[in-house]
Amino acid sequence: MTKPYVFQHVAPEELHAHLKHRSLLKGKTAVQSFEIAEVGHYGRALLLDGCVQSTEYDERIYHESLLFPAYAYSPRVTSVLCLGGANGGTLKQILKLPHLERVRLFDIDPELHGISRRLLPHMHERTLEDPRVRIEFGKVFDMVAALGETRERFDLIVADLPDATAESYATSLFSSEFYQNVSRLLSPHGIYVTQAGQAHFLYSRFLNRTLRTLGREFAHVTPYTVTVPSYGCPWAFALASRGVDFASVTPETLGQRIRLLPEETLAAYDEQTHAHMFHLPKILRSALAEDVPVNTLGRMETVEIAVRAEPASSSS
């Protein structure tokens, strides 16, 4: 009997594999290839263009880590713009924020949104029933640029984006031009947060270029990391702001804000975890000291982590 595996690169010469118990649905939307499968001991997983995006049993680590540190550094969050994330995982967490008044979500793939609502109900729960939520579909780069021409501003902008592979629509959303548009949408003390690829000291160029690119458009930028087990290596995120100096926010203030969150609904985030996230290991800090160019639409750093060929099988 053969058992299929899902393989993907975590570095050019390094693979991570999950046993695939069964595939629930596999296909291609107008935007991207996808598969929803049951893998390893992680439950149902969403794969985009061959890359694991989330799994049922550890998605909360990723989504809580993406959102709540930015909230903790924010003086007050009443308005949020979420870029990507129509699979529901981030939106579910956003609705836990105290003082929240409105959320807009921009995503490119309405077809996948419908599929995930049907096959990944643990991600969405009852988010679409909340009257504060407004979801719109289209090209995210263009939607952000158009919104910048209005007076609407946000306290927090969350980029829940897929991996920036050469085939992904998300590549342009790590460019200097995009960050210029994002900065116009933030309130004076607003914060932008994005996933930023692998926190792998031997494969840190994408992260480094993302940080350098954010640093061109924002006065304050800081990375942090967390281990998402299904990804096979630590994962990086980046905070950016014009008005919030992250280094000046005291642990006492962070703790006060974190304690306002509904702790009983959080699986992965608290004060102790927050402190751990922002203490990068020396070997990664050294790797990120390399001088690298910024990302522009004409010169982008992309990541190659997905295996396109059919995965090998193992006999048992």
Host H or E run for residue 123: helix 121-124
CATH class in words for 59-287:
alpha beta
Count CB neighbours of 174 within 10 A: 26
Domain 2-57 belongs in CATH node 2.30.140.10: yes
Taking the C-alpha atoms of residue 170 and residue 142, their distance in angstroms, rounded to an integer, is 12
Whole-angstrom Cα Rg for the chain:
19
Host H or E run for residue 48: strand 43-48
**CA angle (60 as vertex; 19, 198 as ends), nearest 5:** 70
Judge residue 269's burial from the number of C-beta atoms within 10 Å of its C-beta, 0-12 exposed, 13-18 middle, 19 or more buried: buried
Q: Per this entry, what is the length of the chain?
A: 316
Q: Which two tokens stand for residue 124?
A: 């969405």
Beta bridge partners of residue 52, listed in sequence order: 47
Domain extents in the chain = 2-57, 59-287
Q: 3-state DSSP call for residue 99?
A: coil
Q: What local confidence, expressed as pLDDT, does residue 128 receive?
A: 83
Which residue of the set 109, 160, 245, 291 is catalytic? 160
Contact 169, 300 (CB under 8 A): no
From first to last of the 316 residues of the chain, give the pLDDT tens digit.
Answer: 467 998 888 877 888 999 999 999 999 999 989 999 999 999 999 998 878 999 999 999 999 999 999 999 999 999 999 999 988 899 999 999 999 999 999 999 999 999 999 999 999 888 888 999 999 999 999 999 999 999 999 999 999 998 877 777 889 999 999 999 999 999 999 999 999 999 999 999 999 999 999 999 999 999 999 999 999 999 999 999 999 999 999 999 999 999 999 999 999 999 999 999 999 999 999 999 999 999 999 898 887 655 443 444 444 3
Beta bridge partners of residue 314, listed in sequence order: 3
What residues have CB less than 8 Å from 148, skipping those under 6 apart? 181, 184, 185
Q: What local confidence, expressed as pLDDT, does residue 308 receive?
A: 44
Q: What local confidence, expressed as pLDDT, does residue 1 receive?
A: 46
Q: What local confidence, expressed as pLDDT, does residue 305 receive?
A: 57
Q: What local confidence, expressed as pLDDT, does residue 3 receive?
A: 78
Residue 160 is among the residues annotated as catalytic for this protein: yes
